[in-house]
Amino acid sequence: MLQRDYPDQICSIARSLEVIGERWTLLILRDAILGAERFEEFQETLGIASNVLTSRLKLMCDEGVLERLPDEQRPGRPKYVLTEKGRELGPALIMLMKWGDRHYPTSGGPPRLTLHAGCGGDIGADLCCKRCGQSVGPGELELPLGPGITGSTRGGSAQAPKRT
C-alpha cells in the first residue's frame, strides 16, 4: 500500500488509490454499479476469496463508498449499496472500461455496451451520446451485455443490465 502521508507531494490521485486502487475493489465497484448487493453475488461473479472480499467490503464501507444495510429479504444478512460517493465513481469506471475496450479489445467486441437510456445511442468515453449528442448523467446509462461476453459469469457480472 502507498503511504498515507506525502511529505514531498500533494497528490489527490495517490490518496484516492488508497481507497479504490486495488484491483478487487474496482471490480467490486463495477459489480455494484451493475446491481450486485449481496456478498454471495460479488463472490460468484468475481471468484474472489471470502476473506479478501470481506476485507474490501469493509474498507469500502469504512470509507463511505458502500453502505452496509440490513437485507429485508434475508434477516441477519447485510446488503451493500453504493452511496453517493460510490456512485460518483461511475463515470471514472465507464471511462476506464472504454479505455480498455479501445486498447485491449476482446475478439468479439466489447463485453458490455454503453447505451443512452433516452435514445439507445452509444455512449462515448466522454460520456456523450453519439446519436443525440446529449451529455449522459446518472440514471441515463444502460450497460447491457455486449458481443464480446463469453458464457462465463465472470468478467462483468452477467446479470441483468442496470441503469446507472
Q: Average pLDDT, stretch 134-153? A: 81
Average pLDDT of span 108-117: 93
The pLDDT, as a whole number, for residue 36 is 94
Q: Which of 162, 114, 109 is nearest to 136 (CA)?
A: 114
Q: What is the DSSP letter of 10?
A: -
Name the residue ranges covered by the structural domains of the chain.
Answer: 1-86, 89-164
Given a cut of 90, whether residue 120 has pLDDT beyond it is yes
The secondary element (H helix, E strand) that includes residue 97 is helix 90-103
Nearest to 55 by CA among 44, 69, 66, 70: 66
On whether the CB atoms of residues 142 and 117 are closer than 8 A, the answer is yes
Crossing angle, helix 39-46 and helix 23-33, to 10 degrees?
A: 120
The pLDDT, as a whole number, for residue 158 is: 46
Fold of 1-86: Arc Repressor Mutant, subunit A (1.10.10)
How large is the C-alpha radius of gyration of the chain? Answer: 17
pLDDT digits (tens, 9 = 90+) for 2-60: 555 555 668 888 888 889 989 999 999 999 998 999 999 999 999 999 999 999 999 99
Mapped onto helix, strand or coil, the DSSP state of residue 130 is: coil
pTM, rounded to two decimals: 0.81
pLDDT for res 160: 41
Q: Which three cell numbers stand for residue 1?
A: 500500500
Residue 54 C-alpha cell reads as 470481506
